Structure 1
Amino acid sequence: MHILENNNGLKMTSPQNTAPILVTGATGYIASWVIQKLLQQGHHVHATVRDLNKKSGFAHLEKIAAQSTGTLKLFKANLLEKNSFDEAMQGCEIVLHMASPFVVTNFKDAVKDIIEPAVLGTENVLNSVNQTESVERVVVTSSIASTYSDAIDILKTENNAFDESHWNTSSSETHQPYPYSKVMAERKAWDMQKAQNRWDLICINPALVLGPSLTPNTQSGSVEVLQQFSNGMTLLGVPPMWNGIVDVRDVADAHIHAAFKADAQGRYIISGGTLSLLEMGKILRQNFGHKFPFPRNHLPKAAFKIFGPLVGFSKDFVELNMGYPIYFNADKSKQEFGIEYYNIESSLVEHFQQLLDDGVVKKYL
């Protein structure tokens, strides 16, 4: 990589013009934005998808590439297949590993459906990195779920906010398996990085991601939340729970900074602020009126202790996650990456409007 200085005096890395940049999980919600930004900056992008025959899944990327100065080359790769990423990685100096399962609910086997794809997928990609001499930097999309397991963990923090020094130490295969998959995958990445000295590692830890998608086909955890707001599931009220929230464009920018900023290092929490489920409902009602069953009140924690198991909330989950506002310290990303975060209320409204325009959510009344 070559070292340059931008107008702010920040040292940035710049790959050779001929060196492609690999993005895994190219059709993903965040990855699509990253690829768009790279292509518009004139980079050569190698992007992996699970099935090259499902062209509808990546048609938006090909359209973006046709209108950009950069170039896009697609490769088939599977997280659970060894050496699956070798071909796509050839000649790359930077690898953005963004492919990961997102299954928080409706899974049959936590280990097979969530944990193994995340951990083994990371291991397979980084094994390919170890075999590809050209790679100098890897950026892994992790999650704030790697910094804590349950909302009650906020009580253990010194400044009432999770930061990059915090780790999720209490999730397991049976308790919070999705956060467990994220922290185990990130720890696997750090273990593999420390076992060699050719490539460095940056981990991006975003909060719940909202904001416009580049394709109506995108699925994410935030879509599921917004669908529940619109289909009547939350009409009687929502649990007293809070989410760190960030705009997808900020998350994409963070990946770009992590890829090219020479002195970037470690983990970066990417969060624009915190909203409760009830606050989210109120914001949506203010903007979309009464044609949707947006929640109007909190249901008491005691009610979820009684009825929660019937709707998938274990008693442990209710006890450890309801009633504890959570906050995240994103100062490192602001200071080192210069990110000025989008207004998360606007991101929420923009995201819901797009889901409405795309027919993903429908008017209830």
Structure 2
Amino acid sequence: MNSGVSDVSVLVTGGLGYLGSWMLIALLRQGYRVRASLRDLAQEKQLRATLAPFTTSLHRLSFHRASLLRDEGWDSAMQQCQFVVHTAAPVRRGDYRPQDIIAPTRQATLRILRAARRAGVRRLVLTSSAQAALPPPQGAAISDETQWTGLDDTGTSDTVRAKTLAEQDAWTFVRTHGGPELVTVLPAFIQGPVVSADYSASIGLAARILRGKMPLLPRLGFCLVDVRDLVDLHLRAMTHRDAANQRFIAAGEFLWMQDIAAAYRDAFPERAATISLRSAPDALVRLLALFSGELRQAVTSLGQRREFSSAKAERMLDWRPRPARESLIEGALSLLHKGLA
């Protein structure tokens, strides 16, 4: 515990989620006074029980009712907070219209920024996405923070549009209004141990592979980042003097889905017969995407090797991602231990 931060208050949005719960754990371990926003305070008991095995400092954690879809509650939640870490997003899964995800994501980001400015918050760290920094079709092989995803590209999914537009809105807001200080963190494909059954879609993919629910693997690949390393980068972005008004990509090694499945087969030979390494034909994936909203969001990435550089975070913040396979295996072990795979 760092006693020097014992009087510093931090609000985390999305504390019930995969990244948010790890963020709460890390902040409490470092000695901060931590607040978490919840849509429904009835979730407090569940979240405290979830976090209890990871920290003995739950007495420094308080909960505040606030929804990303409404203004009410945010002024109170941010009162006397020096920092806000905004990890939450009104993400819709399955079938939805573009307006069901793009407008709410943009509105939520501006709602948080307006409240932070009214409360006099010193710095806000926004979780964006590495998908908001995609190069143009004929652009660089490895993307960095200077890139912005082209919104006119017909291959850009609604989820990527929402993240890109929301981050652009945030930068426009601080340029226009002069505060709070803004830092954006752009994570790649998040892996690593789970805290509870409320984990991200990226971990859900790992769980399906481990359970043998993916007999055919689409030709999709990802740069991976461990959730614990991602939390570490958020905390460095929150406190480092030079991080103000900067974007930071959080990404490690690139692996194809077949590489991920092979890593699981090597680590868990007793499941070798269950974990498939067979590739799905692109034509089949495109056909199935006609009936699946989630596949429609992924089909534009088939066969594309999109890599991201974290050199800026490594250089400015002395941040390092751990090996991808270490993250995969520790994530799989946590899923197995909790009976989730």
Aligned match of 1:145: 131
CA distance in 2 between counterparts of 1:252 and 1:275 reads: 21
CA RMSD of aligned residues (A): 2.6
Counterpart secondary structure, 2:279: coil
CA distance in 2 between counterparts of 1:141 and 1:330 reads: 15
Q: CA deviation at 1:61?
A: 6.2
Aligned match of 2:115: 128
Mean CA deviation greater in 51-60 or 72-81: 51-60
Q: Is this contact kept in 1: 2:28–2:57, CA < 8 A?
A: yes
Aligned match of 1:81: 70
Q: Is this contact kept in 2: 1:136–1:200, CA < 8 A?
A: yes
Q: Does 1:38 align with 2:30?
A: no
2:164 to 163, 166, 183: 183
Counterpart secondary structure, 1:46: strand
CA distance in 1 between counterparts of 2:12 and 2:193 reads: 20
Aligned match of 1:116: 103
Q: CA deviation at 1:154?
A: 6.6
Aligned match of 2:183: 202
2:151 to 170, 184, 199: 170
Gaps (5+ residues) in structure 1?
1-13
Q: Does 1:283 align with 2:263?
A: yes
Q: Does 1:256 align with 2:242?
A: no
Aligned match of 1:222: 202
Counterpart secondary structure, 2:308: coil
**What letter is aligned with 2:326?**
S
Q: CA deviation at 1:230?
A: 3.5
**What letter is aligned with 1:146?**
A
Counterpart secondary structure, 1:58: helix
1:8-44 alpha-carbon deviations (Å, 9 max, x no partner): xxxxxx9875331111111121122222121111111
CA shift in 2, pair 1:146/1:16, >3 Å? same
Q: Does 1:59 align with 2:39?
A: no
Question: What are the equivalent positions in structure 2 for 1:316-331 lying under 5 Å apart?
Answer: 318=299, 320-331=300-311
Q: Is this contact kept in 2: 1:36–1:61, CA < 8 A?
A: no
CA distance in 2 between counterparts of 1:111 and 1:32 reads: 28
CA shift in 2, pair 1:285/1:197, >3 Å? same
Q: Does 1:96 align with 2:75?
A: no
Q: Is this contact kept in 2: 1:45–1:70, CA < 8 A?
A: no
Question: What are the equivalent positions in structure 2 for 1:289-300 lying under 5 Å apart?
Answer: 289=269, 291=271, 293-300=274-281
CA distance in 1 between counterparts of 2:267 and 2:183 reads: 38
Q: CA deviation at 1:326?
A: 1.5
CA distance in 1 between counterparts of 2:316 and 2:222 reads: 24
Aligned match of 1:6: none
Aligned match of 1:157: 139
Q: CA deviation at 1:228?
A: 2.8
Q: Does 1:238 align with 2:224?
A: no
**What letter is aligned with 2:35?**
H
Q: Does 1:28 align with 2:8?
A: no
Counterpart secondary structure, 1:47: strand
Q: CA deviation at 1:53?
A: 0.9
Q: Is this contact kept in 2: 1:21–1:45, CA < 8 A?
A: yes
CA distance in 1 between counterparts of 2:314 and 2:132 reads: 20
CA shift in 2, pair 1:64/1:288, >3 Å? closer
CA shift in 2, pair 1:248/1:16, >3 Å? closer
Q: Is this contact kept in 2: 1:65–1:72, CA < 8 A?
A: no
CA shift in 2, pair 1:29/1:303, >3 Å? closer
Q: Is this contact kept in 2: 1:154–1:161, CA < 8 A?
A: no
- Give the aligned length: 336
Q: Does 1:357 align with 2:309?
A: no
CA distance in 2 between counterparts of 1:88 and 1:224 reads: 31
Q: CA deviation at 1:82?
A: 1.1
**What letter is aligned with 1:349?**
I
Counterpart secondary structure, 1:21: strand
Aligned match of 1:5: none
2:95 to 93, 97, 107: 107
CA distance in 2 between counterparts of 1:238 and 1:40 reads: 39
CA shift in 2, pair 1:192/1:57, >3 Å? farther
Counterpart secondary structure, 2:42: coil
Question: Which consecutive aligned stretches of 4+ in structure 1 deviate over 4 angstroms post-superposition?
Answer: 14-17, 171-175, 305-308, 310-314
Q: Is this contact kept in 1: 2:263–2:325, CA < 8 A?
A: yes
Q: Is this contact kept in 2: 1:94–1:138, CA < 8 A?
A: yes
TM-score, scaled to structure 2: 0.89
Gaps (5+ residues) in structure 2?
none
Q: CA deviation at 1:166?
A: 1.1
Aligned match of 1:271: 251
Aligned match of 2:318: 338
1:266-308 alpha-carbon deviations (Å, 9 max, x no partner): 1100011111011111111111225363232323334434555
1:147-189 alpha-carbon deviations (Å, 9 max, x no partner): 12xxxx575333x111101111237899511111111111111
